[in-house]
Amino acid sequence: MHLCEFTMQVEAICALKSHGHRVVLVTSGAVSVGCQRMKLAARPKDLVTKQAVAAVGQVRLMRMYDDLFSQLDQPVAQVLLSRENINRRHHYTNASNTLEGLLKMGVVPIVNENDTVAVEELRVGDNDTLSALVASLLQADWLVLLTDVDALYTADPRKDPNAKAIHVVENLDDLHADVGSASAGASAAAPAQSGQWGTGGMATKLQAARIATCAGVTTVVTKSTEPQNVLRIIKGERIGTVFMPKARPLQGKKLWIAHGLRPSGEVTLDEGASRAVLANSSLFAAGIKAVSGKFDAQSSVVIRDEHGREIAKGIVNYASSEIDQIKGLSSAKYADVLGYSGSDEVISRDNLAITAQGIVKSGSNSNLQMAAGKPTS
């Protein structure tokens, strides 16, 4: 991204603040800036070099933002997050408290994944998902995903002259998207160019929209070269694609279970158990058809119906090996099989979050998001 784009986005954020909004900026770029500073021809593939380059780039990236915001007399703060900060409940709460504290002080927090220390299994992985997690934990009003396409389309507009922009998506569960090519459902225009420096794409933006709308956050995909449109979008103009929030959003612990924890395995249910889970009932072994992955008790798992569709996530009371032994059995038989008497519930309703999540395919490139928080009083 060129300096002029950074400048326009900084100006757009300050304009939002002048209208009473609290804004968090979620940005990537430490690795790519570090590569430019070290004159590397390609993004490093090995973890140690990538972390070292990120450390070099992080200093330069934050200096640039601080210089640009300082010209508009706007204080900023750097907040580095890793997947571990989101996985651990007390870290998750502390991150939320820190961000809220900065917002109350009138500061613009600049959030980035902590690439300098994050190992692969503890990375969020893409900026779109990170921005959605930040918007969710703050219970923001809006999440704006800035990209190099202007909207989601009914087909690839480069190939289909009849393709039309989708300005409002009421229910993401009804959207069957193939963002790599035109499809019978809705698909997105692929960016005109994709580089080697970024991560993410339209697929990750749809996934981010799913996370954020599940938390009650209105989500927008719009063009990064026109950040001044963000205020117009918030005022109701039909620009980009707006994903409407769920009518009954997840909050608190259930939001953390749904999107904060990284699942360690999966359980597949029969039709009756799927209906019960969707009605917010606890999960019992009698309705479990299969279990996959190796995990301990108190791990997070994805819950799928018999057609393989994700319907919920939850924290299990039993290890995978134990669930495999008791699946299909009534709770009265647990002790005979396991040799001890445990909880009747494999997953308690208090540790279960309904996600009813579909499947999205393919992807491309992205590098900056803005999560617009609730207006200050």
The answer to whether residues 332 and 345 touch, using CB atoms and an 8 Å cutoff, is no
pLDDT tens sequence across 120-163: 544 555 788 889 989 988 989 999 998 887 888 887 777 888 88
Residue pair 141/217 in contact (Cβ under 8 Å)? The answer is yes
Tens digits of per-residue pLDDT, 321-354?
999 999 999 999 999 999 998 999 999 999 999 9
pTM of the model: 0.77
Distance, in Å, from the CA atom of 151 to the CA atom of 229, rounded to the nearest integer, reads 13
User: How many alpha carbons lie under 13 Å from residue 53 in its C-beta half-sphere?
Assistant: 22
Tell me: the pLDDT tens digits for 160-219?
A: 888 888 899 988 877 655 444 433 234 443 333 344 434 446 778 888 898 899 899 999
228 SS3 class: coil
Are residues 274 and 305 in contact, defined by beta-carbon separation less than 8 angstroms?
Answer: yes
Query: Under 8 Å CB-to-CB from 225, ≥6 apart: which residues?
Result: 5, 8, 148
* Cα angle for residues 129, 130, 135 (degrees, 5° grid): 95
Confidence (pLDDT) at 369: 54
Look at 214 and 270; give whichever has higher pLDDT: 270
φ, ψ at 234 (rounded to 5°): -60, -30
Residue in 334, 251, 326, 264 with CA at minimum distance from that of residue 300: 264
Region 236-253: mean pLDDT is 88
Radius of gyration of the chain (CA): 22
Q: How far apart are CA 58 and CA 87, in angstroms?
A: 23
For residue 231, the tally of other CB atoms under 10 A from its CB is 16
The domains of the chain, with CATH numbers, are 3-253+359-375 (3.40.1160.10), 263-357 (2.30.130.10)
